[in-house]
């Protein structure tokens, strides 16, 4: 490819905002510009170059031979296999991976982080009051940021969805919204808020309880001085037309209370008694939310599903990587980017055979029996990805890819089926 062109309305998976309004400038087959400017998005797109290797035991091989070897290994390991859904693949590829797990009686798990998993479990216990980012943009007149400033990890969250844009019910944009910034120890809320509240980490759950009691209209006894400002802050939420609570659902540098999300869900539900309110959970990109959606509509569960009994079983207390570390699998099929997994595989107790199919599989820092490089969803591959609010969006790749993840997995599924049929016949 030569010359310069701009591909409009590209969907970025650099973070869970999944902005679908990005213009990508391509010159000589490389990405040279991304508009609007976003540092996280620019780093995620890079220049678009990726390896295109197919390796069997570390040596170059034809794709057909790699599929045959991968199928042989996976069928041999049926019942003792982990299928891991890594980031940067489409929902179509995730669906094919789940079909493979089903056929092979494998366990299947995803890159859902531990804090995000804890949030999913809390939502399963309590229900949740969520909203799409569009609803937040159009309706939120009071926003409370609970120990998070989205600017660093989710650079366009405030400008595109939550704070600055004019909405149908908030036509004045930022001027029509009240912002409450709550800092929990070193988890700082955004600067420039209308109300700022400091809460010590050990008081976090008490502060959430006081807010909830205030929203429910309970009479409060005397509070310690350090929680004195909490009821007034809660009253700002109760007088909103539409309040939105924003929190970080992913790992952060400082450990936080595992009950934070449940406390925020409970507060949001209490607020819905007196006004309308929603909880916005900030999630990482790479279509991680897609893995949860695909698993949910394929099996009924959002993560950590085990097909070893011949039907899907939910085992959230025993995540796939934890079992892998403990030597619980003979083999692992990694679908998607494997970079984050290197430490996990090194820490395992027993050797495990690995098949990696995804972007930069040949560069994965682990010894894989089979490695097949495919494109990055959103850069080289189309399909569907899910935003942090679980809204599915189409992918419009600005560059061509040598090999599609979903098609490669489809070919592997055919070969696995044939081998399983041979074995049972």
Q: Considering the rule CB under 6 A, would residue 38 count as an interface residue with ligand SF4?
A: yes
Q: Considering the rule CB under 6 A, would residue 18 count as an interface residue with ligand SF4?
A: yes
- 349: how many CB neighbours lie within 10 A of its CB? 10
- State the nearest-atom distance from the C-beta of 228 to ligand SF4, in Å: 37
Cα–Cα distance between 51 and 45 in angstroms, integer?
A: 15
Give 109 or 381: the residue with its C-beta nearer to ligand SF4: 381
Provide the β-strand partners of residue 36: none
Give 19 or 321: the residue with its C-beta nearer to ligand SF4: 19
Give 157 or 301: the residue with its C-beta nearer to ligand SF4: 157
Q: Select from 14-22, 105-113, 120-128, 162-170 the region that touches ligand SF4 (CB under 6 A).
A: 14-22
Nearest CA-CA partner of 189 in 213, 163, 214, 171 = 163
Give 40 or 195: the residue with its C-beta nearer to ligand SF4: 40
Q: Considering the rule CB under 6 A, would residue 14 count as an interface residue with ligand SF4?
A: yes
- State the nearest-atom distance from the C-beta of 381 to ligand SF4, in Å: 17
- State the nearest-atom distance from the C-beta of 137 to ligand SF4, in Å: 14
Nearest CA-CA partner of 163 in 153, 149, 177, 150 = 177
Q: Which of 15, 83, 111, 395 binds ligand SF4 (CB under 6 A)?
A: 15
Give 263 or 286: the residue with its C-beta nearer to ligand SF4: 286
Give how far Cα 243 sits from Cα of 140, 234, 386, Å: 6, 11, 24
- State the nearest-atom distance from the C-beta of 316 to ligand SF4, in Å: 28
- 63: how many CB neighbours lie within 10 A of its CB? 13
Per CB under 6 A, contacts with ligand SF4 among 322-351 are none
- State the nearest-atom distance from the C-beta of 46 to ligand SF4, in Å: 12
Cα–Cα distance between 205 and 225 in angstroms, integer?
A: 16
Cα–Cα distance between 344 and 334 in angstroms, integer?
A: 12
Alpha carbon of residue 139 to chain centroid: 25
**DSSP type of residue 245:** E
- State the nearest-atom distance from the C-beta of 17 to ligand SF4, in Å: 4
Give how far Cα 352 sits from Cα of 3, 325, 342, 371, 384, Å: 46, 10, 13, 14, 31
Per CB under 6 A, contacts with ligand SF4 among 141-160 are 154-156
SS3 category, 244: strand
Cα–Cα distance between 95 and 85 in angstroms, integer?
A: 10
Give 84 or 157: the residue with its C-beta nearer to ligand SF4: 157
Beta strands across the sheet bearing 22-27 = 4-10, 22-27, 30-35
Q: Which of 10, 24, 31, 41 binds ligand SF4 (CB under 6 A)?
A: 41
Q: Read off the tokens for 140.
A: 């939120």
Residues binding ligand SF4: number (CB under 6 A): 14
- State the nearest-atom distance from the C-beta of 48 to ligand SF4, in Å: 15
| Apex 243 CA angle, 239 and 245, nearest 5 | 130
Q: Considering the rule CB under 6 A, would residue 17 count as an interface residue with ligand SF4?
A: yes
Give 41 or 401: the residue with its C-beta nearer to ligand SF4: 41
Give 282 or 361: the residue with its C-beta nearer to ligand SF4: 282
Q: Considering the rule CB under 6 A, would residue 19 count as an interface residue with ligand SF4?
A: yes
- State the nearest-atom distance from the C-beta of 157 to ligand SF4, in Å: 6
Q: Considering the rule CB under 6 A, would residue 397 count as an interface residue with ligand SF4?
A: no
Cα–Cα distance between 117 and 123 in angstroms, integer?
A: 10
Alpha carbon of residue 406 to chain centroid: 19
- State the nearest-atom distance from the C-beta of 18 to ligand SF4, in Å: 5
Cα–Cα distance between 303 and 109 in angstroms, integer?
A: 5
Residue nearest to ligand SF4 (CB): 14
Give 155 or 375: the residue with its C-beta nearer to ligand SF4: 155
SS3 category, 6: strand
Per-residue contact track with ligand SF4, 153 to 192, x per CB under 6 A?
-xxx------------------------------------
Q: Which of 23, 25, 33, 40 binds ligand SF4 (CB under 6 A)?
A: 40
Give 115 or 378: the residue with its C-beta nearer to ligand SF4: 378
Cα–Cα distance between 287 and 15 in angstroms, integer?
A: 9
Residue tagged 């107790």 (tokens):
349
Q: Considering the rule CB under 6 A, would residue 195 count as an interface residue with ligand SF4?
A: no
Q: Which residues bind ligand SF4 (CB under 6 A)?
A: 12, 14-15, 17-19, 22, 38, 40-41, 44, 154-156
């Amino acid at each position: 490819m030569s010359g310069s062109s701009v591909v409009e309305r590209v969907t970025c998976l650099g973070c869970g905002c999944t902005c679908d309004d990005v213009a990508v400038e391509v010159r000589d087959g490389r990405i040279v510009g991304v508009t609007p400017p976003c540092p996280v998005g620019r780093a995620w797109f890079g220049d678009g170059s990726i390896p295109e290797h197919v390796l069997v035991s570390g040596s170059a091989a034809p794709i057909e031979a790699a599929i045959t070897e991968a199928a042989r290994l996976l069928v041999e390991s049926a019942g003792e296999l982990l299928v891991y859904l890594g980031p940067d693949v489409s929902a179509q590829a995730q669906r094919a991976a789940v079909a493979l797990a089903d056929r092979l009686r494998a366990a299947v798990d995803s890159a859902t982080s531990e804090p995000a998993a804890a949030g999913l479990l809390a939502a399963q216990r309590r229900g949740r009051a969520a909203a799409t980012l569009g609803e937040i943009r159009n309706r939120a007149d009071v926003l409370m940021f609970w120990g998070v400033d989205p600017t660093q990890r989710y650079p366009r969250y405030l400008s595109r969805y939550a704070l600055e844009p004019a909405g149908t019910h908030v036509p004045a944009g930022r001027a029509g919204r009240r912002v409450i910034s709550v800092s929990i120890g070193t988890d700082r809320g955004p600067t420039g808020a209308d109300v700022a509240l400091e809460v010590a980490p050990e008081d976090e759950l008490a502060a959430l309880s006081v807010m909830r009691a205030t929203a429910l209209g309970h009479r409060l006894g005397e509070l310690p001085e350090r929680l004195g400002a909490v009821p007034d802050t809660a009253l700002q939420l109760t007088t909103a037309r539409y309040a939105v609570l924003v929190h970080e659902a992913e790992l952060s540098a400082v450990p936080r209370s595992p009950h934070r999300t449940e406390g925020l869900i409970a507060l949001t539900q209490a607020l819905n008694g007196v006004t309308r309110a929603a909880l916005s959970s900030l999630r990482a990109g790479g279509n991680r939310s897609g893995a949860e959606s695909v698993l949910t509509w394929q099996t009924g569960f959002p993560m950590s599903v085990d097909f070893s009994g011949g039907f899907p079983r939910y085992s959230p207390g025993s995540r796939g990587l934890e079992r892998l570390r403990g030597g619980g699998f003979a083999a692992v099929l990694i679908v998607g980017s494997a970079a984050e997994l290197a430490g996990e595989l090194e820490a395992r107790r027993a050797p495990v055979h690995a098949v990696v199919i995804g972007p930069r599989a040949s560069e994965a820092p682990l010894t894989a029996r089979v490695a097949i490089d495919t494109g990055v969803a959103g850069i080289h591959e189309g399909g569907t990805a899910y935003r942090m609010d679980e809204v599915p969006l189409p992918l419009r790749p600005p560059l061509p890819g040598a090999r599609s993840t979903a098609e490669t997995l489809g070919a592997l599924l055919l070969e696995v089926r044939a081998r399983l049929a041979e074995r049972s016949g």
